[in-house]
Amino acid sequence: MAKRSDVSSDSGTRLKQPKKPETSKLKKLTVSKKPERVWVRNLFPATVKVAGRSGERYVFDGSGVEVKVNALDVNELLAKRRGGCCGATKSPMFELA
């Protein structure tokens, strides 16, 4: 077996470095979906104007009127109560339709 005379010389037998896979630049997706709407019914026998947490304003023209409201406002509307008279319990103003 022949010995190499110069160990420092480069014989050209280097391994090639594997190429790094190109990362494709992904565009950021923006989802602009309208919030879900829910039907809510007024139980109070009068016109009720109310603003929800989302900033939307709703007008219920009398008892039994149903309005489609933003899903963010539903819990707030369902929690509203009207005062009872003469010690009666408070009644809900709205219900899900």
The widest CA-to-CA distance across the chain, in whole angstroms, is: 114
DSSP 3-state of 76:
helix
Whether residue 1 has pLDDT greater than 70: no
**Residue 27 binned pLDDT confidence (cut-offs 50, 70, 90):** low
For 48-97, write each residue's pLDDT tens digit. 999 999 999 999 999 999 999 999 999 999 999 887 777 778 889 999 98
Q: With beta carbons less than 8 A apart as the criterion, state whether 75 and 92 touch.
A: no
User: Which ranges of the chain would DSSP assign to H, the alpha helix?
Assistant: 74-79
Query: Model-level pTM?
Result: 0.59
Q: With beta carbons less than 8 A apart as the criterion, state whether 42 and 60 touch.
A: yes
- Return the closest-CA partner of residue 48 out of 65, 70, 72: 65
For 33-44, write each residue's pLDDT tens digit. 666 899 999 999
For 18, 42, 48, 52, the CA distances from 21, given in Å and listed in that order, are 9, 60, 62, 51
